[in-house]
DNA sequence: AATGAATGAGATTTCATTCAT
DNA sequence: GATGAATGAAATCTCATTCAT
């Protein structure tokens, strides 16, 4: 009914699409549902997006970009590597909790997993971020010596695991704090600690 | 075609369904594809299963049952709790790797998440299993004192994370061994260790 | 409603498709129209044909095959090359008049003219047929010496022209006889004729 | 963009429409494509033309008018009827080759064949043109006596055939010269000729 | 006059499910 | 039990046309 500007419409559609894709998954979400949610006609969607795939892709790009941005901003002034890792984990988990969304979308339509490249490049960026934090932490003496690449992989995997677990199983097993502790625990130097103070912080581990 | 017995037909269909659901997801898989793969007619499917949902449900039940069975058998004679946890993790990951499948299926058809109850009860069983191992390990002195419930939750979550990470991202970030080490490391008593032997097993931590 | 055998249905659909495509062209014909005409559901069409394009292609193949068959049969016992050419032309025109149809279909969907190969190979067959008749006619002395290839091209082009003219313009400008005369006239030897008898057969060309 | 005068805009649109209609046919061409090609907005098209049909009709009118004009101009000073017929044919074929276009458009939208009347009247004009040339040629003794109406019909049909053949089949079977020869050959008086000179001009005939 | 977002009707296509054979 | 043609609803997508700006 009321004519919107192109940009308004686009972001309006993206919001609706996010809601619907998140709730029903890529195949479960229909263009009709998205259009309805965006209070637009179905045909209208196709003015702004070539097809369902492109709509979904745009959405993913935007989300991953947003998260990247958020991470970058948050980590900007942080010097302490422990704090940095904690922030990194917390922001990732908070973001996932806030949006519970396109994290899965792994449709095999037409034999090709679209959006894969997008994710890959995003994960690569994240890996680099962690590697840098780790290196600084080792240099500063906050973290013990370790194979940076390998450790990064493990941190990423564990974090990814928590995120997925949260989204797929809809269990709230972990608070970001708990998750941070699990990961940080091993990274922290323990040689000089009285071995009871910090350890006790984290039940279930030693 | 050669006539099969009812039971043969059923398991034949289930095998086909597993293959197709695994590859294309619940919505991406069509009854036609499953029938074709099972070398049976489309109508034939409906003789053995009320509908697509029931077929999928039966499949999930069977899969979870199989895994339960496998776990039970493997853990039967095992006394050492460290070995038990390692086995538990390894079998879970190997199973997931072997089947890369119904792990996701979270379709919201007609507004209701089917299969959820199934999963819940399976996870409960698994939780009980771990709890028992933990208790034994604590009693035997292999594991340090800890909140059993909480620790179980963390182990489950981390494992679940690794499984999902493997299935969704199609990365092979972790070998079952690495995963086991990550989880076990914290569970093992460390008070009496010279701090170099066992610790060094696991790079990137300590 | 009443279940038909697969073969019945297929030819039933092809008949309907012929009618609709002929009348409305490839783009003008809708699957709905074809389904309606075939007294079948729209979805039913897709049991027998992968898509609109394949349906149209099958139809063209069948038509060109039919005409080939008819020509072959008709020319089988014919020795006299004049009669052969006359038959060739007459059958082509009669066929076109009878079916007024897929002769045009030159859709440029997705940037590629489908059915082109089909037509090309059909025209090649026709060319060979004419060339053989011409050769025999020259050998027997019925036709004057001429460049067989070139003459074939001209005959084909003129005939094709008449066919198209008939179909596109919906004028009945020519009877097959008139068309035959136009083409034959030049082919016939005239050196020994009194030059007035046969010539007068064909008004406007004395 | 730079504002055009109304007339400029109109002819600009017509040029774009010609290009698009020619390449994709009436149904295959979309208003969006035409607008894009004309570097104008979709709405802009509707300022100058009531709808798609009218745009197409206008285009056809213009084209047929152009051709009429060209023919008229070319034939103006020509006295020799042989030359006149040759010109007539050549211009027609050249024009068709240059534009490969609306010649087919035979859409039956909403059950009514638009543009038919337009074509009919154009063909009528052309017929008159040929008839006049023929009459002059007979009077001057260049052409043999013949039924003018009938001969005109055959010339028109053959020419039309060549044009269609060229457009539809996208074969370049004929040069305008060959086509002219085919048609002219029969029209020329032959009673006084040595019967070898002119005859030999045209291979495959005589 | 000009724009281009929006509409709404209709096109092609897919698919779980049914049912005559 | 078994088949697979048929259905009908719904999905994705297209497009001539309109209209607020």
Q: Which domains does chain B have, with CATH numbers?
A: 1-49 (1.10.10.60), 59-200 (1.10.357.10)
Cα–Cα distance measured from residue D126 to residue D64, given in angstroms and rounded to the nearest whole number:
10
Whether D146 sits inside 8 A of C204 (CB atoms) is: yes
| A-contacting chains (≥3 CB pairs under 8 Å) | B
Length of chain D: 206
Give the mean model confidence (pLDDT) for residues B58-82: 90
Neighbours of A111 (CB within 10 A): 7
Residue C82 has pLDDT above 80, yes or no: yes
Give the mean model confidence (pLDDT) for residues C30-54: 96
Question: Long-range contacts for C66-69 (Cβ within 8 Å, ≥24 apart)?
Answer: C67/C91, C67/C92, C67/C95, C67/C122, C68/C122, C68/C125
Cα–Cα distance measured from residue B123 to residue A83, given in angstroms and rounded to the nearest whole number:
34
Higher-scoring residue by pLDDT: D80, D158: D80
Q: In this complex, which of B108, B158, B186 lies closest to A24 when CB atoms are compared? A: B108
Give the mean model confidence (pLDDT) for residues D6-25: 86
Cα C6 to the chain's mean position, in Å?
29
As a rounded value in angstroms, the CA-to-C1' distance for C163 and F9 is 44
Cα–Cα distance measured from residue A72 to residue A129, given in angstroms and rounded to the nearest whole number:
9
Token digits of residue A103: 């994290």
Whether A154 sits inside 8 A of B178 (CB atoms) is: yes
Confidence of residue C46 (pLDDT cuts 50, 70, 90): very high
Q: Is D143 helix (H, G, I), strand (E, B) or coil?
A: strand
For chain B, what is the mean pLDDT?
Answer: 77
Give the mean model confidence (pLDDT) for residues D174-183: 68
Q: Identify the pLDDT of residue D192.
A: 37
Q: Is B108 helix (H, G, I), strand (E, B) or coil?
A: coil
pLDDT (tens digit, 9 = 90+) per residue, B182-204?
666 545 554 433 333 333 333 33
Q: What is the tally of helices (H) and strands (E) in chain C? A: 9, 0
Whether B104 sits inside 8 A of A108 (CB atoms) is: no
Length of chain C: 206
Q: Identify the pLDDT of residue C39.
A: 95
Residues of chain B found within 8 Å of residue A161, distances taken between Cβ atoms: 157-158, 160-165
Q: Identify the pLDDT of residue A151.
A: 77
Contact yes or no, D with C (3+ CB pairs under 8 Å):
yes
- The end-to-end CA distance of chain B, in Å, is 63
Token digits of residue A176: 């970001």
Tell me which of A71-80, A139-148, A149-158, C103-112 is least confident. C103-112
Whether B119 sits inside 8 A of A169 (CB atoms) is: yes
Contact (CB, 8 A) for A173 and B153 = yes
Higher-scoring residue by pLDDT: D194, A150: A150
Nucleic acid strand E: bases within 7 A of protein CB: 1-21
Q: Identify the pLDDT of residue B160.
A: 79
Q: Is B188 helix (H, G, I), strand (E, B) or coil?
A: strand
Q: Identify the pLDDT of residue B91.
A: 92
Residues of chain A found within 8 Å of residue B119, distances taken between Cβ atoms: 169
Neighbours of C137 (CB within 10 A): 22
Name, in order, each residue with C-beta under 8 angstroms of C62's C-beta and a sequence gap of 6 or more.
Answer: C14
Q: Identify the pLDDT of residue D187.
A: 52
Whether D162 sits inside 8 A of C157 (CB atoms) is: yes
Question: Long-range contacts for A91-98 (Cβ within 8 Å, ≥24 apart)?
Answer: A91/A67, A92/A67, A92/A159, A92/A163, A93/A159, A93/A162, A93/A163, A93/A166, A93/A174, A93/A176, A93/A179, A94/A176, A95/A66, A95/A67, A95/A70, A96/A163, A96/A166, A96/A167, A97/A166
> Half-sphere exposure of residue A126, counting CA atoms within 13 Å on the CB side?
26
Handedness of CA A175, A178, A182, A183 (dihedral sign): positive
Nucleotide nearest to B52 (CA to C1'): E16
Contact (CB, 8 A) for C153 and C128 = no
Residue D201 has pLDDT above 60, yes or no: no
Q: Which of chain C's residues 26-55 bind strand E, using a 7 Å CB cutoff?
A: 29-32, 42-43, 45-46, 50-53
Higher-scoring residue by pLDDT: A195, A46: A46
Confidence of residue A24 (pLDDT cuts 50, 70, 90): confident
Higher-scoring residue by pLDDT: D197, A46: A46
Residue B77 has pLDDT above 50, yes or no: yes
Residue A193 has pLDDT above 50, yes or no: no
Residue among B34, B36, B49, B48 nearest B4 (CA): B48
Nucleotide nearest to C49 (CA to C1'): E13
Higher-scoring residue by pLDDT: A84, A188: A84
pTM of the model: 0.81
Whole-angstrom CA distances from D135 to C203, D71, D141 are 15, 18, 10
Contact yes or no, B with A (3+ CB pairs under 8 Å):
yes
Q: What is the interface size between A and B, counted as CB pairs within 8 Å?
A: 126
Give the mean model confidence (pLDDT) for residues C38-54: 96
> Half-sphere exposure of residue D86, counting CA atoms within 13 Å on the CB side?
12
Cα C125 to the chain's mean position, in Å?
12
Cα–Cα distance measured from residue C67 to residue D102, given in angstroms and rounded to the nearest whole number:
29
Higher-scoring residue by pLDDT: D66, A4: D66
The dihedrals phi and psi of D188, each to the nearest 5 degrees, come to: -70, 140
């Amino acid at each position: 009914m009321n004519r919107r500007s192109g940009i308004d419409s686009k972001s309006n559609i993206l919001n609706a699409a996010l809601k619907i894709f998140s709730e029903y998954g890529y195949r479960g979400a229909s263009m009709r549902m998205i259009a309805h949610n965006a209070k637009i006609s179905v045909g209208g969607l196709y003015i702004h997006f070539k097809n369902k795939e492109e709509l979904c892709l745009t959405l993913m790009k935007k989300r991953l970009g947003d998260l990247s941005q958020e991470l970058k901003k948050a980590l900007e002034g942080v010097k302490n590597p422990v704090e940095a890792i904690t922030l990194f984990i917390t922001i990732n988990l908070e973001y996932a909790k806030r949006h519970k969304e396109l994290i899965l979308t792994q449709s095999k339509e037409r034999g090709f997993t679209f959006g894969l490249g997008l994710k890959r490049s995003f994960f690569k960026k994240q890996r680099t971020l962690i590697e840098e934090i780790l290196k600084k932490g080792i240099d500063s003496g906050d973290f013990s010596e370790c194979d940076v690449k390998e450790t990064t992989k493990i941190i990423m995997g564990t974090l990814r695991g928590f995120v997925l677990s949260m989204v797929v199983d809809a269990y709230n097993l972990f608070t970001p704090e708990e998750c941070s502790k699990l990961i940080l625990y091993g990274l922290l130097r323990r040689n000089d600690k009285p071995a009871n103070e910090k350890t006790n912080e984290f039940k279930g581990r030693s």
